[in-house]
Amino acid sequence: LEKYNLAGFEEIVRASDINNCNEEGECFVHIASGMGQLDVLRFLHFKGADLFRIDANGENGVLWAARQGHKDVIVFLQQHGLSLNSPNKYGDTPLHLASKHGHSLIVEMLIKHSDDINQLNEEGDTSLHLAAFRGNLDTARCLINAGAKTDMQNKKGCTALHLTLHK
**Contact partners, residue 22, CB within 8 Å, separation at least 6:** none
SS3 145: helix
User: Does the 84-166 domain belong in CATH 1.25.40.20?
Assistant: yes
pLDDT in tens, 68-124: 999 999 999 999 999 999 999 999 999 999 999 999 999 999 999 998 999 999 999
**Contacts of 30-33 spanning 24+ positions with Cβ under 8 A:** 30/55, 30/59, 30/60, 30/61, 30/64, 31/64, 32/1, 32/61, 32/73, 33/61, 33/62, 33/64, 33/65, 33/70, 33/73, 33/77
Q: For residue 98, give the DSSP letter.
A: H
Residue extents of the structural domains in the chain: 1-82, 84-166
Residue 33's CB is within 10 A of a number of other CB atoms, namely: 31
- Determine the 3-state secondary structure of 27 from DSSP: strand
List phi, psi (to 5°) of 54: -115, 150
84-166: same fold as 1-82?
A: yes
Cα 138 → chain centroid: 18
pTM for the predicted model, two decimal places: 0.91
Q: Among 1.10.238.10, 1.25.40.20, 3.40.50.11540, 2.30.29.30, what is the CATH number of 1-82?
A: 1.25.40.20
Q: For the segment 11-40, what is each residue's pLDDT rounded down to a tens digit? A: 666 667 889 899 999 999 999 999 999 999
CA nearest neighbour of 46 among 95, 85, 9: 9
